[in-house]
Structure formats: structure tokens, C-alpha cells
Amino acid sequence: MATIKNVLLYVNRIKCEATSLESDITTYLNGIGIENSVIYADKQEHSEIKNFDLVITLGGDGTVLQALRRIHAYQIPILGINLGTVGFITEIAKGEWREALDKYIDGTLRVSNRTLLDIKVVRKNREIFNTIGVNDGIVTSNNIKAIIELKVYFSDIEIGEIHGDGVIISTPTGSTAYSLAAGGPIINPEMNALIFTPICPYSLSNRPIVTGGNEIIKVKINKNQRANILLTIDGQESIDLEEEDLVYFREHGRYARVIMSDKRSFFDVVRTKLKWSGGPRA
């Protein structure tokens, strides 16, 4: 049984049902004697969040990503209520929130530990940027009319140069996001792995690679680029890169702790949301 004394609601008010659902959940929590607070995703609040036992998000996968990026250091479990369109991380449907909350408190819902990315940028032998990623880090051109040239290393072993629109380094959780759209594989989100996916490479031989979670992937920005280059993390944070910058991707020491639904598996979601057949009649 989980000991829950204080709950944080992380609410995306852009979702039309979020405000009424927030009221329902806070009323329920008050009724069973659990303290609760609310943070809104559209507000740049810097409230202290480390003293919560549970975070409940109201929104879509983007809301969960934003919340996880804030709470990862405290290893607080997160219960994602899906008010979005896809819902790979937000497994709990809006009509299931009370049942899911009760089951988690009773200890009958499982917490999934998800790999996080540790991402840093080194410029002229000096680290200038460091952050975490839940889904992915993407090195791309900001000009769709010009390809970029990148040199890629796995644990200091050069695997080759990429000429194209960029590269994606994703976690297994992020394998069903941009990496999938770029031709990458679907990975069980609880695996310990990193996925390297070129974006529109100008070569028939550049293909996605799945490697171990202990790998360090390094991307070097070559000289004489024909476009400005950008590093984007989870679609929510970005930094401009310069020629000869080094971008390092590795597994973070902490995990994202995501509460799983007992009504559907990850592969149920893949079949229903991505229309994956999984059978010989595809």
C-alpha cells in the first residue's frame, strides 16, 4: 500500500475538461484526508515540489513530459490522466481517474521506471549546457532547404557522418514519438536502451541503431554548415549550436517513475493508437 499524504495536481488548462476534472479530484482528495496543491502548466511557477508523494497530471503526453522534467530529481511517481489525443505516457483515461487513484493507494498499480537522457553541450572544451530529456534530444537544421553534416560517435568510436536533416537520440519511452515518425523502431518503454535515428539521411545506408543504455552517444557539428543548427529536447527546450560543438547523450542516473494502467498494456496502445496490426493480415 502506498502512503499518500500530499498530492500535486499539474494541470494543463488549455484542455477544455481540465478545470472541471481538477475540481473533482481536489474535492475527492479533501474528502479522504489527503492534502493537495495545484500547479498550472502554463504558469512559470517555481513552487517547491519535492515534498509530494504523488503527482497527477491533467493533460496529454506533453503535460507529463513537462511535469517529469520538473520532478525527476525527487523520484516522485506520476499518474497521467489523458486529456490529449494519443496518450502513450498518459495511460489513464479521464473516466478512470478515481479507480486508478484508489488502486495506486491500495498498492495494486505498478510503477514503471523509465530511462531518462542526460544531455550536455561542450563548446571549446567548456560545458555550456546541461539538461535532462524524457523522450528525446534532436539535432536539426532550422532551415528545411539545407542539409546539415554531423559526425556521430558511440563511446568515442566514430560510426560515420550523417548528411541530412539531423538526428534523433531517444529513450525507449520516446521511441513512439518523433523517432517513430522518422523510421525508428518501437521499443518496450521499460528497456534500458538508447535509439539513434537519422532524419531524412541523404544515403540509403544510414539506418536507426538501438544500443545499450550504458552507451555515450556523441554528435559533433561539422564545419562549413549551410544552415543554423538547433538542439531541441522533448519539444520543450532548445539551444542554438555552433560549428564544432559536441553534444553528448547518455543515460541519466535517475528514472522517470510512471504509474501504469492495469486496463491496457503498452502494446494495446500501440495497436489502438498507431493502428499497428501485429498479425499476418497487415
How many DSSP H helices and E strands does the chain contain?
5, 17
Strands 54-59 and 78-82 come out as parallel
- Give the residue carrying C-alpha cell 491500495: 106
Q: Strand, helix or coil at 176?
A: helix
Q: Which residues of 208-235 are buried (b: 16+ CB within 10 A; e: fewer)?
A: bbbbeeebebbbbbeeebeeebbbbbbe
59 closest CA partner among 37, 78, 31: 78
Q: Between vectors from CA 90 to CA 88 and to CA 95, what angle results, nearest 5°?
A: 125
User: Is residue 165 marked as binding?
Assistant: yes
Strands 35-40 and 6-11 come out as parallel
User: Is residue 102 marked as binding?
Assistant: no
User: Is residue 136 marked as binding?
Assistant: yes
- Give the residue carrying C-alpha cell 523520484: 75
User: Per the residue annotation, which of 24, 42, 53, 61 is the catalytic one?
Assistant: 61
Write down how long the chain is.
Answer: 282
User: Is residue 62 marked as binding?
Assistant: yes
User: Is residue 163 marked as binding?
Assistant: yes
How many angstroms separate the CA atoms of 282 and 279, rounded? Answer: 6
24 flagged as catalytic: no
User: Is residue 225 marked as binding?
Assistant: no
13 closest CA partner among 4, 2, 23: 23
Amino acid identity for residue 249 in this structure: F
Give the residue ranges of the annotated binding site: 61-62, 135-136, 163, 165, 236
Give the residue ranges of the annotated binding site for NAD(+): 61-62, 135-136, 163, 165, 236
Catalytic sites, residue numbers: 61
